[in-house]
A and B are shown apart, each in its own frame.
Chain A
Amino acid sequence: MAETKEKSLSDEKPKPRVRPIVRLGIFLISHSFHVSVVCCTAGVLALFLLPVLAKNTYISENALMPGSASPMLSNQHVSDGNRLVKDLTNPNSKSSETGIESHKIIAQYMLDLGAEVSFHKFHPQMNQFHPLHFFSSPDSGKIQENYSCSSYGINTVGIIRAPRGDGKEAIVLVTPYNALKSGFGEALSLGIAYSVFSLLTQVTWLAKDIIWLVADSQYGEYAAVAAWLREYQTPKFSSLSTPNAEMCPDVNNLFELKGHSISGSKFSNSFRRAGTMAAALVLKVRDQNEQFEDTISIYAEASNGQMPNLDLINVVNYLAVHRQGLRVNVEKLWSLLNSSWLKSLGEIFESLAKVAKSLYPKWKFGIPATEYVEGTATLASSLYYQALGVPTGPHGAFRDYQVDAITLEISPKFSLDKVWRNDILLRGGRLIEGVIRSVNNLLEKFHQSFFLYLLTSPSKFVSVGVYMIAFALLIAPLPMVAASLYVDANSSSNCSKGDSSTPSAITDTDEHSIAIRSWRWLNSAKLVFIVHLWGAIVSLLPYFISQIPDCSPTTSFMIWVLLSILSLLTLNSVLASPLACAKATQEKEWALVKSVTISSVFIGLGLMSVINFATAEIGALLMVPMCLLAQPLKLDVRAGTLRSFCRMICNLVLGHIAFPPAAFFLLKGMLDGFGNANVGDFWMWVESLWAWNSATYLFIGMVELPCWVLCISILFHTC
């Protein structure tokens, strides 16, 4: 491109001025190398700057008014909660094999408070891979086969109707509870929920109904909550051939036993509902804890990196820190906390900020190095869990129905005396009460604050406007490089042709060849398309492999790899054979392929950033350098300079890292150590991804893998 420009400049003919915007474009394209280096470094740097740029959270919705009312939860309610905990941990209640006794106890306690109680039976529904069900709304369950009476769970649901509300909205409180092998923590979480519940039956300020869901977590917390939500939102009215749970003697027994002791219509075995859900809180208490403080962990990531409204986290954080004196933390990548390079980076930023502050006192953007390291660790885990697209707790089920939900995990400093237990019940209860009261104040649904954000600490966040910059800088060079490569390939072949052919060539054929040449990219586009088609096939393959019975993860992974390679070869031989005929233009063939690859990667990353930003960001970190650097190894070897040698090394390293399984093992090795890495792990990981309908799976299968294959094919291009 540069040559053409010089040539055009050297033409002494006065040319009409080029429009500035076009000139800028040409300038950028002609300097695409520098531009891409600058942009990529800036993009990575901006990513590392995010903890510095994080803003303090604030409560955006005025109606929430957290902590403006003094908590009403008294010792009376705490002792009520304590009673329930005692009854549940009593060895007598555990004698029953199915744990029905403890459900009965809970239901009895709820009824005594005057709440409406119902049991919800469900069959755990295994997550299955449905190739076409990505992004579709959760359906009302497929026809369920061969359920036996032994495998069902029972959710106990208690509902308090707001005395002065209109019953249009509800707040959900979820406590997972495994009746079979419940730890003390689960009983304690029930105790907290019960003490709040007993308070809420008496208060006059309630405007929304309260639903307390004791989710039977013997088949996993998520499954229980999801089953209840499915029944709540998309019930099935017809139950044609499915064996109903009513046929099972155990369940009937349960209902009968309840029936005679309870008066009135408060108890029913039909499903009960209460309006549109405004928010949901999942409460857990961790059993053992090594920390010295009472802490609360907040888990917020739902499927596909969706987050609840930031206000919900803010309210919890505000109440926990400023009212109840609990420490709040969000998840961190602990391995990053001790890394020295991050620390030194933090120190550099700190000193830079110091200098900047001394220059101009209003520039206050520095944070201490330790805080920076912690922020980065939190940010990394926030990015990681969002990118994974797998919910981090039962709250993920709510997000599928546009309900804001978070999981609160209280991990108390562990001791067994009664005072301590009362203290936890009181503080946890008051926290829950405060949050419920805030949400209760809300007239509208959560909409004021952010939905797209990354947390760097419980009280600091990076909003979409800031973190998009890093991503935009990373992918900005892609279209430029693609354009420059395309122009380059076209013009250079043009030149070579001009040199080789005799100057007396007939202009007719020349025009004809130009027309052909300008369509030459179609060939490369075909190649890229074929590879992407292959990617789609590869991402569909696990569905068929998972149908094979009795397959260990390792063997299924091997089958997958074999089938993938086989299908690639088949596709190549069937569809790509006419590619070979374009002999004349082969010397720049790779440039065209690279250009089309880069544009397809750009499109893929752009699309993914809309669906799940974190995935796109991590993908861009891996793929952008690989795409930009890819060049046939032969050329580098031939050139033999230091620069080409460096490029070769980079290419080889990136070619290994960017291969999805390799990247996975590298990440896993960094987090857990390389000792126990197993080939089957990747299969398990992929299985979990598709089971949760994570878009990351599609991204890996249809964008990243084809891109990697194309880059490898460029590396080994014969030219």
Chain B
Amino acid sequence: FDPISSSNAKPPGVELWAVFDVPQHHIDASWKNLTHTLSGLFCASINFLESTATYSTPEWSFPPASGNVRYGTLPCEAVCTENLTPWLKLLPCRDKAGIALLLDRPSLYRGFYHSQQLHLTSTGSSSEGIDLGIILEQTLTVVLQPNSEMAIEVHASEKHIQPSWSLSSIFGKQVSGRCVLAKSSSVYLLLDRGLVAELKFPNKENGKSAANGLTSENFWSNPSFELSAKPDRIFLEESSLHSKSLSILYMFQVEKYSESEPFDIGLMWKVPVAWLCQQTPLHASRFLMGSGNERAAIAISLKSTQFTEGFMSANCKDGSCELRVDVFQVVPWYVKVYFHSLRVFVDQQPRAVSDIIEKIHVSPSKDKMSPGVMEVVLKLPCRVNTAALTIEIDKGFLRIDEYPPDANQGFDIPSAIISFPNFHASMVFLEDDSLNKSPLLSKFQEKCPVMSYTEVLLVPLTTPDFSMPYNVITITCTAFALYFGSLLNVLQRRVAEEERFLKAKAAKKTGRLPLLLSKLSAKLRGRRLEPLHSPPSSSSFINSKLVLKVILVAGLGVGWQYFFS
């Protein structure tokens, strides 16, 4: 399988995993150190991974396992220029010379996909004491579309030739010489297996050997495409078991070129060719099911890509052929997973979990402490068409201070990792001299399982109205005031005393102010002043005459205003 896409295609956001060679109880501390260092280095919020709620400890999903691996992702962290610049600073010549000159920001970020990777390996353990050092591997993966103007008219013409490209047309820059510090600096051009297989066809009709046609001297005047520069070396893939054709790698050494004669490789297509990259055995996609803000379910559906059929049949000697699929899923704590509700469907038939799942490791989430981790090893029959895993979740309620600023966007669930340990992504190229083995080629040869990432899920959680705290404070304060007011009132009151006081008051004449008030009201009512013993009954407040008078005065005012304005 293609090692480039398998090892370099990453989900959106930041993914960090590290293997620690320190005692068990130091791991978390050194993880914290690492996150903070990286975050400072790359101007990214990698330090958010420091809290225990964001990273997890996979048991056996990562090859060099055994409990000292830490894995964390930040799916909503966008990668942009400010992260690229510090990354480039780690290069000896930055982007001033060498191939890095190509990294023109506008054209880079116009692409469909880009990811930057940093791989640190410390070689040699400290106990040996020799060759203590760190190998820094920097990878930048970019998917670009050549010549977007051509693409516009694509649908107009019936038969279109895939756009031709050159380095200068893609990046808008040209390479002139290597970085002085670099030992070697070369550009590789890989013709994918599928493409080679497609290109073989016209050749075969002519009765020529395909590989010869592409690797022979006049390959650039090949019937299907034309290269603008002559490659320095051509590598042919060693024959592998499970594919009909072999990929071809062209190498161009940048050292030969200079300022006056910049390196600009281009590829001109002559005939339309359509080919398909090699796909993983199963296409994985993950989605959210259900509606409403309470319950939902996560489903991971695996669909077989017809591509691997041939391999399957080759691999399956006896009837009981099995395809092993590892699923590694981290779920943040605010999404509560019911692991018991895991259900497996194979070819649209519900199957018992124990039939399909060979091994499962689950660590449930703890609120605000650690995320839930699920590692599953599935054994699917080779002939499987579709398989699906569903697991029910509860959407949690968060405290108000736990919501991020853009809570209404929803919460991200990091992508699951689906790996196929039966398949290895590696390419072994025939090399004439093993002395100056290129590091890139040796990396291609490393055998690592084919991995694919699923989509990041966006889970809309219930969000409070964030202006609510104000209302809540107001309402609670009112309730408290009412409660304490009446409580104090009750505590303070002495009923017997009050009755005695009332009696005394009834015997006594009314005070001066009430007298005045009653006089006033009596005058308003146009009645004779009479001493009132009991407070006026509430019904007498609404006296028709009183109301009439008020209305009269108001009407006069209104009329006055109306006529004089």
Report how far A359 CA is from B560 CA in the complex, Å: 9
CA distance A358 to B560 in the complex (A): 12
Q: Determine if A239 and B299 form an interchain contact, defined as CB atoms under 8 angstroms apart.
A: no
**Stretch of B23-31, B322-330, B497-505 at the chain-chain interface:** B497-505
CB closest chain-A residue, reference B307: A265
Check B455–A167 contact: CB distance below 8 A: yes
How many Å from the CB of A172 to the closest CB on chain B? Answer: 15
Return the CB mask of A1-26 against B: 1 if under 8 Å, else 0.
Answer: 00001000100001111000001000
Residues 503-558 of B at the A interface (beta carbon under 8 Å): 503, 505-506, 534, 537-539, 558
Interface residue from B274, B303, B562 paired with A358 (Cβ < 8 Å): B562
Q: Does B378 contact A (CB under 8 A)?
A: no
- Give the residues in chain B near A681, CB-CB below 8 Å: none
In the complex formed, the residue of B with least CB distance to A202 is B152
Chain A window 643-657, contacts with chain B (Cβ cutoff 8 Å), 1 for yes, 0 for no: 000000000000000
Which residues from B are CB-within-8-Å of A400? 291
Do A168 and B112 contact each other (CB < 8 Å), given the known contacts A237-B345, A359-B561? no
CB distance from A507 to the nearest CB of B (A): 25
Name the interface residues of A667-696: CB closer than 8 Å to any CB of B. Answer: none
A137 touches B293 (CB 8 A): no
Q: Which of A168, A237, A355 contacts B562 (CB 8 A)?
A: A355
Residue contact B409 to A237, C-beta cutoff 8 Å: no
Are A14 and B502 neighbours in the complex by a CB distance under 8 Å? yes
Chain A residues contacting B506 (CB-CB under 8 Å) are: 14
Given A237-B390, A445-B460, does the pair A137, B290 have CB atoms closer than 8 Å?
yes
Selected from A168, A237, A264, the residue in CB contact (under 8 A) with B276 is A264
- With a cutoff of 8 Å between Cβ atoms, the chain A residues found around residue B152 in the complex are 202
- Chain A 318-354 residues near chain B, CB threshold 8 A: none
Which chain A residue lies CB-closest to B486?
A19
B408 touches A444 (CB 8 A): yes
* Least Cβ–Cβ distance between B282 and chain A, in angstroms: 13
Inter-chain contact B463/A447, CB cutoff 8 Å: yes
Contact, CB under 8 Å: B287 / A273? yes
Contact between chains at A233 and B290 (CB < 8 Å): yes
Q: In the complex, which residues 441-484 of chain B have their Cβ closer than 8 Å to any Cβ of chain A?
A: 455-460, 463
Within 383-440 of A, Cβ neighbours of B (below 8 Å) are at 400-402
Q: Report whether A233 and B289 are in contact in the complex, using a CB–CB cutoff of 8 Å.
A: yes
Closest residue of B by beta carbon distance from A236:
B348
A239-282 CB contacts (< 8 Å) to partner B: 239-240, 263-265, 270, 273, 275-276
Q: Are A238 and B349 in contact (CB under 8 A)?
A: yes
* In the complex, per-residue mask of B161-178: 1 if CB is within 8 Å of any chain A CB, else 0: 000000000000000000
Chain B residues within an 8 Å CB radius of A444:
406-410
- Residues from chain B with a CB closer than 8 A to the CB of A359 are 558, 561-562, 565
Chain B residue numbers with a CB within 8 Å of A31 are 539
Let me know if A306 is at the binding interface, CB within 8 A: no
Q: Any chain A CB within 8 A of the CB of B388?
A: yes
Complex Cα gap A266–B274 (Å): 12
Asked if residues A27 and B276 are in contact (CB atoms below 8 Å), the reply is no
CB distance B410 to A445 under 8 Å?
yes
Query: Is B350 interfacial (CB 8 A cutoff)?
Result: yes
A589 proximal to B (CB < 8 A): no
Interface centre among B299, B409, B460 (most CB of A within 10 A): B409
B388 to chain A: which residues have CB within 8 Å? 237
Asked if B288 lies at the interface with its beta carbon under 8 angstroms from chain A, I say yes
Closest to B112 in A: A163
Total number of A residues with any Cβ neighbor in B under 8 Å: 48
Q: Whose C-beta in chain B lies nearest to the C-beta of A2?
A: B539
Closest beta carbon of chain B to A264's beta carbon, Å: 6
Chain A's interface: helix, strand, loop or mixed, by majority?
loop
A9 touches B458 (CB 8 A): no
Least distance between A627 CB and chain B CB atoms (Å): 25
Q: B562: which A residues are within 8 A, CB to CB?
A: 355, 358-359
A234 to B410, CA, bound (A): 19
Chain A residues with CB below 8 A from B409, complex form? 443-445
* Chain B residues within 8 Å of A547, by CB: none
B-contact bits for A204-224, CB 8 A (1 contact / 0 none): 100000000000000000000
B45 contacts chain A at the CB level, 8 A cutoff: no
C-alpha spacing A97/B539, complex, angstroms:
81
Are B349 and A240 touching (Cβ within 8 A)?
Answer: yes
B291 touches A137 (CB 8 A): yes
Question: What 1/0 mask marks residues of chain B from 79 to 97 whose CB sits below 8 Å from any chain A CB?
Answer: 0000000000000000000
B192 to chain A, nearest CB (A): 14
Chain B residues, CB < 8 A from A293: none
Is the pair A237, B292 in contact by a Cβ cutoff of 8 Å? no
Query: Within 8 Å of chain B (Cβ to Cβ): is A169?
Result: yes
Contacts of B437 in A (CB 8 A): none
Cβ proximity bits A221-233 to B, threshold 8 Å, 1 near / 0 not: 0000000000001
Q: Which residues of A contact B463 (CB under 8 A)?
A: 447
In the complex, what residues of B have CB within 8 A of residue A273's CB? 285, 287
A510 contacts partner chain B, Cβ-Cβ < 8 Å: no
Chain A positions 349 through 378: 1 when the CB is less than 8 Å from some CB of chain B, otherwise 0: 000000100110000000000000000000
**A498 touches B (CB below 8 Å):** no
Q: Quick check: A233 and B456 within 8 Å, CB to CB?
A: no
Taking CB atoms, residues of chain B closer than 8 Å to A270 are 303, 386
Query: Which residue of B has the minimal Cβ distance to A238?
Result: B350
Chain A neighbourhood of B565, CB < 8 A:
358-359
- For A16, give the chain B residue with the smallest CB separation: B498
Residue in B276, B285, B456, B503 whose beta carbon sits within 8 Å of that of A14 in the complex: B503
Interchain CB contact under 8 A, B112 and A27: no
Minimum C-beta distance from A485 to chain B (A): 19
User: Is B244's beta carbon under 8 Å from chain A?
Assistant: no
Q: Give chain B residues whose Cβ lies under 8 Å from the Cβ of A445.
A: 408-410, 460
Q: Is A138 part of the contact surface with B, judged by Cβ < 8 Å?
A: yes
Is B182 located at the chain interface by the 8 A CB criterion?
Answer: no
Instruction: List residues of chain B with CB within 8 A of the CB of A497.
Output: none
| Chain A contacts for B299, CB-based, 8 A | 235, 237
Q: Is B154 an interface residue (CB 8 A)?
A: yes
Q: Which residues on B sit within 8 Å (CB–CB) of A17?
A: 502
B155 touches A (CB below 8 Å): yes
Cβ of B459: which chain A residues have Cβ within 8 Å of it? Answer: 276
Complex interface bits, B409-428 against A, C-beta within 8 A gives 1, otherwise 0: 11010000000000000000
Q: Are A9 and B534 in contact (CB under 8 A)?
A: yes
Least CB separation from B389: chain A residue: A237
Q: In the bound complex, how far is the Cα of B415 from the Cα of A168, in angstroms?
A: 11
Once the chains are docked, how many angstroms separate the CA of A127 from the CA of B279? 42
Q: Is A130 an interface residue (CB 8 A)?
A: no
> In the complex, which residue of chain A has the Cβ closest to the Cβ of B541?
A27
Cα–Cα, bound, A400→B276 (Å)? 39
Contact A402/B291 with A164-B112, A273-B285 known, Cβ cut-off 8 Å: yes
Find out whether the CB atom of A402 lies under 8 angstroms from the CB atom of B292: yes
Which residue of the partner chain A has the closest CB to B288? A276
Q: Cβ of B345 and Cβ of A234 under 8 Å apart?
A: no
- Tell me the B277-306 residues at the A interface (CB within 8 Å): 279, 285, 287-293, 299, 301, 303
Contacts of B151 in A (CB 8 A): 114, 202
Q: Does residue B98 face the partner (Cβ distance < 8 Å to A)? A: no
Cα A138 to Cα B295 in complex, Å, equals: 12
Residues 119-139 (chain B) with a chain A CB within 8 angstroms: none
- Chain B contacts for A524, CB-based, 8 A: none
Min CB gap B223→A, angstroms: 20
Closest 8 pairs between A and B when the two form their complex, measured CB to CB:
A444-B408, A237-B345, A166-B12, A112-B155, A168-B458, A401-B291, A444-B409, A14-B502
Q: Supply 28 A–B pairs (Cβ within 8 Å), ascending by A.
A: A9-B537, A14-B502, A15-B502, A16-B499, A27-B539, A112-B154, A137-B291, A163-B112, A166-B12, A168-B455, A168-B456, A204-B110, A233-B289, A234-B289, A237-B299, A237-B301, A237-B390, A240-B349, A263-B274, A265-B276, A270-B303, A276-B458, A358-B562, A402-B291, A443-B406, A445-B408, A445-B409, A447-B408
Other A-B contacts than A16-B495, A235-B299, 19 sampled, CB-CB below 8 A, are A5-B537, A17-B502, A30-B539, A114-B154, A166-B12, A166-B456, A168-B410, A169-B458, A233-B289, A234-B289, A234-B291, A237-B350, A238-B345, A238-B349, A264-B276, A355-B562, A358-B562, A359-B561, A402-B291
